[in-house]
Structure 1
Amino acid sequence: MKEDISTLPLWLLVLLCILVLLQGAWLFRNARSRDLGKMAWFWGLWGSISLPVPLLLYWLIVIRRDYRKN
């Protein structure tokens, strides 16, 4: 049976919205602290529209690269 977003409980929708916004804010702040320049905006905006793909790709592309340098 296929469910659409209108059948989800309100508390779950609110929780998902909060998680997506927190993810976008965290990605933006972390990218700025790593001096990624304009890419910080990209990560923040992308993180604010979907969950969890931007976070996983950020880890693979940015964070793992920094650990490999050390």
Structure 2
Amino acid sequence: MNKMHYSLDEISPLWLTLLGIFLLVQGTWIFQDARRRGRFPWLWGLWGITGFPTPLIIYWFVVIRSQRKPGGRNPK
């Protein structure tokens, strides 16, 4: 039978380290971009370190894509 759930003992520390680094980089990038655009940087940054890829996709739809539309908020 296929085992679908894993405990932390079964996952390599290398993978856990890479995942942690990836989430930290993602959260930092979202924070810096939201700060540049003036769109609640702490909220987006903290949410960005909680998971992948949902915060990045929602950030793209709510912030980046909404500013690209005609009549969207200008970052300046």
Question: Within the alignment, does 1:20 sit opposite 2:23 as a pair?
Answer: yes
CA RMSD of superposed structures (Å): 1.4
CA deviation after TM superposition for structure 1 residue 20, in Å: 0.5
Could you state the TM-score of these two structures normalised by the residue count of structure 1?
0.87
Matched to 2:60, the amino acid is W
Q: Which runs of 5+ in 1 are unaligned?
A: none
Say how many residue pairs are matched: 68
Higher CA-based Rg: 2
CA distance in 2, matches of 1:14, 1:4: 16
CA distance in 1, matches of 2:11, 2:65: 35
Higher relative contact order (CA 8 A, sep 6+): 1
Q: Once the two structures are superposed, what CA deviation does each residue of 1:6-44 show, in whole Å capped at 9, x if it has no partner?
A: 2111111111000100111111000000012xx111000
Could you state the TM-score of these two structures normalised by the residue count of structure 2?
0.80
Which structure is higher in helix share? 1
Q: Secondary structure at the match of 1:69?
A: coil
Matched to 1:56, the amino acid is I
Q: Which runs of 5+ in 2 are unaligned?
A: 72-76
Q: Secondary structure at the match of 1:49?
A: coil
